[in-house]
Amino acid sequence: DLKDQKTMSGFFEKTVPQDLNSYGLIPEFTGRFPVISSTKSLDEEALVRVMTEPKNSLIKQYSYLFQLNSIDFHVTEGGLREIAKTAHSRGTGARGLRAITEQLLMESFYIAPSDDDINCVFLDGAAARGERPPVVLKGDKKLEDFLGEWKGEEEDIALEAGKVEFVSLEEFAGFGGKEEEGEEGKGERKVA
């Protein structure tokens, strides 16, 4: 399949000056390149590393922005992998990571500065897939406590126990959001 990124990378590795000439570059120009090199497309693992390892990584930048409002920011490994998977499937590579993450955190960035009670924003795989907004921890709930509860519990159990609050922009801005009992006795938020 010629549209596959790995296949295309393999072809580019074998590029010779005659290929550039057939593409339309003149031989006098291509003769000035002593070495022709190509790059491989980034896989999901490499995209996760791009988000976390550099000194000014994307995740560190977002952590800093939230810290300006005294808010912790935490992304799970599953969240990182989902963001990387989305960027890889779109074919945007590392440049697309910022746009994807920005879209996921847009509501949190809007809500955070105007609510002094928020102390943490938590992004996991479900939030990165767009199944729900990122988790917002308020009040005296600390990230360490939440992580301890989250690891051993399913999302619904944590919701039922009142340990997690999902806040959407509509609810925060007062466009609805009253809580009603669902079919199985779980508290479900319904936005009018």
Shared domain for 18 and 86, answered yes or no, is no
Shared domain for 31 and 80, answered yes or no, is no
Please say if the pLDDT value at position 190 is more than 90. no
Shared domain for 35 and 53, answered yes or no, is no
Element (H, E) at 23: helix 17-23
Shared domain for 37 and 67, answered yes or no, is no
Shared domain for 11 and 75, answered yes or no, is no
Overall average pLDDT of the 120-133 stretch: 89
Strand, coil or helix: what is 106? Answer: helix
- The answer, as to whether pTM is greater than 0.75, is no
Shared domain for 16 and 84, answered yes or no, is no
Shared domain for 69 and 31, answered yes or no, is no
Shared domain for 30 and 48, answered yes or no, is no
Shared domain for 181 and 118, answered yes or no, is yes
Nearest CA to 150 among 39, 65, 74? 74
pLDDT at 151: 62
Shared domain for 51 and 109, answered yes or no, is yes
pLDDT at 135: 86
What number of other Cβ atoms are within 10 A of residue 175's Cβ?
A: 11
Q: 130 φ, ψ to 5°?
A: 85, 15
Tens digit of each residue's pLDDT (9 = 90 or more) over 68-113: 988 889 898 889 999 999 998 998 888 999 999 999 999 988 888 8
Lowest mean pLDDT of 32-46, 50-64, 90-104, 161-175, name the range.
161-175
Q: How many structural domains is the chain composed of? A: 2
Please say if the pLDDT value at position 156 is more than 80. no
Nearest CA to 4 among 83, 126, 119, 88? 88
**What residue numbers bound the domain in which 66 lies?**
44-190
